[in-house]
Amino acid sequence: MILAPEKNDYRVKTTCSCGNTAKRREGNSEFFIGPRKIIIKNIPHFYCSYCDKEIFDSTLGTEDLLMYAFKNNMNEVDWNEKSLYI
- How confident is the model over 7-57, as pLDDT tens digits? 556 789 999 999 999 999 999 999 999 999 999 999 999 999 999 999 998
pLDDT, position 1? 46
DSSP states along the chain? -PPPPP-----SEEE-TTSSEEEEEEEEEEEEETTEEEEEEEEEEEEETTTTEEE--TTS-HHHHHHHHHHTT-SEEEGGGHHHH-
Domains and CATH numbers, the chain: 13-85 (3.10.20.860)
pLDDT of 61 higher than 70? yes
Torsion of CA 21, 24, 28, 30, to 10 degrees: 50
Q: For the whole prediction, is pTM greater than 0.85?
A: no
pLDDT of 58 higher than 90? no
